[in-house]
């Protein structure tokens, strides 16, 4: 047409591998000095970005919630100034401390003679309204709904009488006569009878302060410790999960919830598995997933029945014959699950591996990532010191191309799960995150699009010798979160919050 040559047909090109990300240190909050002891109440126990990524919330074992807000998105640097300063206009993300509040206090259950600690287990952001931020926070038993907004501080700037010119013996001091009436310094007029005209105080608001108000308390609905809360995409409901039950709540109703999943057997001696994590689908309000201590993930459709004891899909990986040992079931327990942003995949973390599941394929994970395989010969020692029961979280990038999870020695690993990617990056939660980084040998490219199962090992020699002597079980990176739209990871090392960007 119009003399233009028709393009020649070309063969479909294989997807090019993703270039490795260059991770760099961005910020740290609460960095401790050398030899400084960390108080248990200051250890971070939850991290969560809001939907836009402009706010970040952390919770700690002391029951406090700390909020941070992003500052670099508001700053626009002119190109000339940037050239003079000799740096790029696109600077790395920056956050600043915004406010904090005491979310939970230690309590005591007198009926069960049980202490309820104030530790924050989970934080979830809700939809913003009229400039105010809303979030849910929970400890082992009680969920609270918080509203955080800026309030103007009101001050009285004009009084009926100037305090510095107080009247003496009924007559205003320093008054001057204006005709037959006296003039009062603050503008009032003194009548001949000696009584000033009434001037109403003027209230002004010049300063603003952040205030956190607890709007609702959702309590007395769980007999066991709450391990998960998750918002529904409808913006009206959320779920809370403990070891045996999942409850559905309406944000506006705090005295009533509906039990939608109950795995408690009639006889507790028949109990074989417990619920470890639960999350709503990011866009389908009728779909949720929950994981179990046996390593399985169940997909539930709320439209099927009021009590969702039967699942619509079951995701589990069958173990190889003859590979079962005493620790098999313990390390298979899933500690965390996350839906991808598009809802197509589910990311799960058990003790040794990170698995990626396709919600349309329940025959097995599409990818498995070995996190710390060097610990497998040490499972007996890990069992004796209870480290084998540590619960590591996982996260996925907004584009779904990379996943991340933590390990011991305050390190975390980022895996490339995109088309043709085999990248494995080991980072340490310090100001120099790549000091433990060792290049991984090249591997054949495998992609998710082929739906083939692939196992990628995090390099066992990343700062750890062949005998595994240098790992530190006392420093573990359990909690981390990925920015919803940028390559920015926030992670917690004890009481310090580290941020890295690429």
Q: Is the pLDDT of residue 454 over 50?
A: no
Q: Is the pLDDT of residue 465 over 50?
A: no
Q: Is the pLDDT of residue 477 over 50?
A: yes
What does the pLDDT look like over 337-378, one tens digit per residue? 999 999 999 999 999 999 999 999 988 999 999 999 999 999
Residues sharing a CB contact under 8 Å with residue 422, sequence separation 6 or more, in sequence order: 17, 416, 440, 442, 443, 444, 445, 446, 456
pLDDT score for 161:
56
Contact criterion met (CB below 8 Å) for 419 and 449: yes
Three-class SS of 255-301:
EEEEEEEECCCCCHHHCCCCEEEEEECCCCCCEEEEEECCCCEEEEE
pLDDT score for 346:
97
pLDDT score for 197:
61
Q: Is the pLDDT of residue 299 over 90?
A: yes
What does the pLDDT look like over 423-448, one tens digit per residue? 899 999 999 888 765 444 333 333 44
Number of C-beta neighbours around residue 263 at 10 A: 17
Number of C-beta neighbours around residue 359 at 10 A: 18
pLDDT score for 421:
67
What does the pLDDT look like over 270-280, one tens digit per residue? 999 999 999 99
Residues sharing a CB contact under 8 Å with residue 313, sequence separation 6 or more, in sequence order: 298, 299, 359, 362
Q: Is the pLDDT of residue 65 over 50?
A: yes
Higher pLDDT, 178 or 17: 17
What does the pLDDT look like over 82-136, one tens digit per residue? 444 444 445 778 999 999 999 999 998 888 888 999 999 999 999 998 889 999 9
Q: Is the pLDDT of residue 449 over 60?
A: no
pTM: 0.80
Determine which of 157-166, 250-259, 278-287 has the lowest per-residue pLDDT on average: 157-166
pLDDT score for 1:
46
pLDDT averaged over every residue in the chain: 82
Higher pLDDT, 192 or 228: 228
pLDDT score for 266:
92
Contact criterion met (CB below 8 Å) for 308 and 301: yes
Confidence of residue 81 (pLDDT cuts 50, 70, 90): low
pLDDT score for 407:
96
Higher pLDDT, 472 or 348: 348
pLDDT score for 467:
39
Residues sharing a CB contact under 8 Å with residue 84, sequence separation 6 or more, in sequence order: none
Confidence of residue 386 (pLDDT cuts 50, 70, 90): very high
């Amino acid at each position: 047409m119009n003399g233009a040559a028709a393009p020649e047909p070309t063969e479909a090109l294989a997807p090019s591998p993703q270039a490795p990300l260059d991770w760099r240190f961005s910020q740290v909050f609460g960095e401790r000095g050398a030899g400084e002891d960390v108080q248990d109440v200051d250890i971070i126990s939850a991290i969560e970005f809001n939907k836009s990524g402009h706010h970040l919330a952390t919770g700690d074992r002391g029951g406090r919630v700390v909020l941070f807000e992003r500052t670099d998105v508001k700053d626009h640097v002119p190109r000339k100034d940037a050239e003079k300063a000799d740096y790029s206009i696109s600077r790395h993300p920056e956050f600043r401390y915004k406010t904090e509040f005491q979310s939970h206090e230690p309590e005591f259950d007198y009926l069960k003679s049980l202490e309820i600690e104030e530790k924050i287990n989970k934080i979830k952001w809700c939809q913003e309204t009229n400039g105010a931020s809303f979030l849910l926070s929970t400890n082992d038993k009680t969920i609270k709904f918080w509203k955080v907004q800026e309030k103007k501080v009101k001050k009285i700037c004009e009084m009926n009488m100037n305090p510095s010119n107080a009247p003496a013996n009924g007559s205003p001091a320093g008054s001057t006569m204006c005709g037959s009436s006296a003039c009062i310094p603050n503008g009032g007029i003194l009548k001949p009878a000696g009584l000033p005209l009434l001037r109403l105080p003027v209230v002004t608001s010049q300063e603003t302060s952040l205030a956190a108000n607890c709007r609702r308390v959702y309590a007395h609905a769980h007999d066991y410790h709450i391990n998960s809360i998750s918002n529904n995409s409808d913006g009206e409901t959320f779920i809370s999960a403990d070891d045996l039950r999942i409850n559905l709540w309406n944000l506006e109703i705090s005295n009533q919830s509906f039990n939608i999943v109950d795995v408690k057997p009639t006889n507790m001696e028949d109990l074989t598995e417990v619920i470890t994590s639960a999350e709503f689908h990011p866009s389908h309000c009728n779909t949720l997933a929950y994981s179990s201590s046996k390593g399985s993930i169940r997909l539930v459709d709320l439209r099927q029945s009021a009590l969702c004891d039967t699942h619509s899909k079951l995701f589990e990986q069958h173990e190889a014959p003859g590979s079962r040992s005493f620790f098999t079931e313990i390390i298979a327990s899933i500690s965390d699950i996350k839906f991808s942003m598009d809802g197509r995949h589910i990311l799960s973390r058990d003790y040794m591996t990170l698995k990626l599941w396709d919600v349309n394929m329940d025959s097995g994970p599409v990818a498995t990532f070995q996190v710390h395989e060097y610990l497998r010969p040490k499972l007996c020692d890990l069992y004796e010191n209870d480290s084998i029961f540590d619960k590591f979280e996982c996260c996925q990038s907004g584009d779904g191309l990379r996943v991340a999870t933590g390990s011991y020695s305050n390190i975390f690993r980022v895996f490339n799960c995109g088309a043709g990617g085999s990248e494995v990056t080991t980072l340490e939660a310090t100001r120099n995150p790549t000091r433990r980084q060792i290049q991984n040998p090249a591997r054949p490219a495998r992609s998710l699009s082929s739906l083939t199962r692939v196992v990628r090992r995090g390099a066992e020699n990343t700062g750890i010798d062949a005998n595994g002597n240098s790992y530190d079980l006392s420093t573990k990176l359990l909690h981390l979160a990925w920015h919803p739209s940028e390559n920015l990871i926030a992670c917690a090392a004890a009481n310090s919050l580290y941020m890295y960007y690429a």
